């Protein structure tokens, strides 16, 4: 008992209590206590074999996790808003060209993924996290502009100033979007009680603006890329801060670091276009 205590770096009474607790849990005598030595009962030998198997499995798992964190292979999931799905469309190919064994999966939903629960590995989000376990590794501006279809301008004229928008047909967002300044911006020019359709997603807004239904607000990175549209004013009407975030538990992951480095470089290279100030 004293030898076991010395090996475990505890006192002999602690070893005795742990052995008694183990025997109580198994419901069997595990050790025969003789004068100068202990021996295992058949039940004790079975428990010992199981413990050795558990230790070996834990060692294997530890080695596999360590190797996985060092390896540049597997899939990295990036949670992002719908507009980012568009401009990141070719990003998985960028990663694959430099790290052939690495895959990137783009995820999008109305609410940011829960990184603490492992719903994604990286998140691009507007709200800066308050959770101390979430690390903001890069921030960038995402600008919004006022757009109209070329066909609409030909038929109804092009406003020269924001004030000239009054009286034009407008593509307006649903109530759920109006807490965000860029999507509420056109409301100041809407005629009270004017009939119209409100949209509850940005893709639908872009479709209606491009089809000539009226003037509306889009993220510059999306509207500027649409050949059917014209940005009415050079400066963005709003720029929000976006954050690239990961969970601190992933800090030592080589695959995460490789994708983060490329993702940050991607956003730095396109920072002017994302903010709507490329010109």
Please, what sign has the CA dihedral across residues 185, 189, 190, 192?
A: positive
Based on the fold, state whether residues 164 and 201 are members of the same structural domain. Answer: yes
Domain residue limits at 247: 74-140+241-268
Please state whether the predicted TM-score (pTM) of the whole model is above 0.95.
Answer: no
Q: Determine the Cα–Cα distance for residues 265 and 261; give it in Å rounded to an integer.
A: 6
Whether 148 and 14 share a structural domain: no
Do β-strands 172-173 and 198-199 pair in parallel, antiparallel, or remain unpaired?
parallel
CATH of the domain at 257: 3.40.190.10
145 SS3 class: strand
Does residue 278 lie in a domain region? no
**Residue 192 domain flag:** yes
pLDDT at 112: 85
Give the residue from 70, 101, 126 where a domain finishes.
Answer: 70
What is the gyration radius of the CA atoms in the chain, in angstroms? 30
Of 222, 269, 253, nearest to 77 by C-alpha is 253
Specify the CATH number for the domain of residue 33: 1.10.10
pLDDT tens, position by position, 221-277: 999 999 999 999 999 999 999 999 999 988 888 899 999 999 999 999 999 999 999
What is the widest separation between alpha-carbon atoms in the chain? 105
Number of H helices, E strands in the chain: 11, 11
Domain annotation covers residue 276:
no
Number of domains within the chain: 3
- Rounded CA gap, 113 and 202, in Å? 20
pLDDT score for 142: 97
Per-residue pLDDT of the chain (279 residues; tens, 9 = 90+): 778 888 888 888 888 898 899 889 999 898 888 767 788 898 988 988 988 889 878 867 765 666 555 667 889 999 999 999 999 999 999 999 999 999 999 998 777 889 989 999 999 999 888 888 999 999 999 999 999 999 999 999 999 999 999 999 999 999 989 999 999 999 999 987 776 789 999 999 999 999 999 999 999 999 999 999 999 999 999 999 999 999 998 888 889 999 999 999 999 999 999 999 975
- Specify if 279 maps to a domain: no
User: Where among 31, 48, 70 does a domain terminate?
Assistant: 70
Spatial contact of 76 and 259, defined as CB atoms under 8 Å apart: yes
């Amino acid at each position: 008992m004293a030898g076991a205590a010395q090996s475990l770096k505890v006192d002999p009474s602690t070893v005795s209590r742990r052995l008694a607790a183990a025997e109580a849990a198994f419901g069997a005598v595990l050790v025969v206590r003789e004068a100068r030595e202990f021996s295992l009962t058949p039940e004790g030998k079975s428990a010992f074999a199981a413990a050795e198997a558990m230790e070996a499995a834990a060692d294997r798992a530890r080695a596999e996790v360590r190797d996985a964190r060092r390896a540049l292979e597997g899939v990295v999931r990036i949670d992002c808003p719908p507009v980012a799905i568009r401009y990141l469309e070719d990003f998985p190919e960028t990663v694959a060209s430099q790290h052939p064994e690495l895959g990137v999966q783009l995820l999008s939903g109305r609410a940011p993924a829960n990184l603490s629960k492992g719903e994604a590995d990286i998140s691009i989000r507007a709200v800066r996290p308050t959770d101390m376990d979430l690390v903001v590794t890069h921030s960038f501006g995402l600008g919004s502009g006022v757009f109209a279809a070329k066909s609409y301008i030909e038929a109804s004229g092009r406003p020269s100033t924001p004030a000239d928008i009054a009286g034009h047909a407008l593509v307006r967002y649903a109530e759920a979007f109006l807490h965000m300044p860029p999507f509420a911006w056109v409301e100041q020019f809407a005629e009270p009680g004017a009939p119209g359709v409100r949209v509850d997603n940005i893709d639908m807004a872009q479709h209606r603006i491009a089809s000539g239904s009226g003037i509306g607000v889009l993220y510059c990175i999306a509207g500027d890329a649409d050949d059917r549209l014209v940005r009415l004013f050079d400066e963005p009407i709003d720029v929000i801060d976006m954050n690239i975030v990961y969970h601190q538990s992933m800090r030592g992951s080589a695959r995460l670091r490789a994708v983060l480095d490329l993702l940050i470089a991607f956003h730095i290279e396109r920072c002017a276009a994302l903010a709507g100030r490329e010109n």
